[in-house]
Amino acid sequence: MIHPLSQFKYCPKCGSPNFKENNDKSKRCSDCSFNYYFNSSAAVVAVIENNKREILVARRANDPAKDTLDLPGGFIDMYETAEEAACREIKEETRLIVQSIEYLFSIPNIYLYSDFEVHTVDMFFKCKVDDFSELKAQDDVSELLFIPLNELNPADFGLISVRKGVEKLLSQNEHTII
């Protein structure tokens, strides 16, 4: 297996080329002794349901997984909570304002960006929106649509973690958790 930091050739602290594998999740610089640990990036995924038990679904405008279905969401910015990120991403992608937010679960993922595998932990949130009148696809979303929860097909979702999340939502729906 290729080390997750194999593309990192130089120490990010001192620039030395003596930056070698330390263990399966870190590299160490033999010149300045800096240890760099490869940790997951944090991301959020929003589950927004309308009063007809339909889930708001986005079509991806860009790669990875361009033109496949997705749920609104994205990476958490520095100095931002997961809840703030979910609200921001929803507003950026849909123009909707979140009234309340509740953590559901998380799923690890590998997100291919610019030919680099970004390991993420995708945190799923149930987001309550009261007003859908401003709904409009924007940012990296080409289309927004509502799909009845029981008609969601996990195979239509291009990102693995979102596909697994939809499977989990459907499984939980059998017990009426959403």
Q: Which residues are catalytic?
A: 143
Backbone angles phi, psi at 165, to 5 degrees: -65, -40
Q: Could you tell me what percentage of the chain is helix, strand and coil, using 3-state DSSP and rounding each to the nearest 5?
A: 20, 40, 45
Q: Which pair of structure tokens corresponds to residue 105?
A: 């679960």
Q: Which pair of structure tokens corresponds to residue 2?
A: 């290729």
d(CA 47, CA 112): 23
Angle value at C-alpha 100, between 98 and 92, nearest 5 degrees: 20
Q: Spell out the long-range contacts of 51-56 with Cβ–Cβ below 8 A and sequence spacing 24 or more.
A: 52/146, 52/148, 53/148, 53/149, 53/150, 54/146, 54/147, 54/148, 54/149, 55/146, 55/147, 55/148, 55/149, 55/152, 55/169, 56/94, 56/135, 56/144, 56/145, 56/146
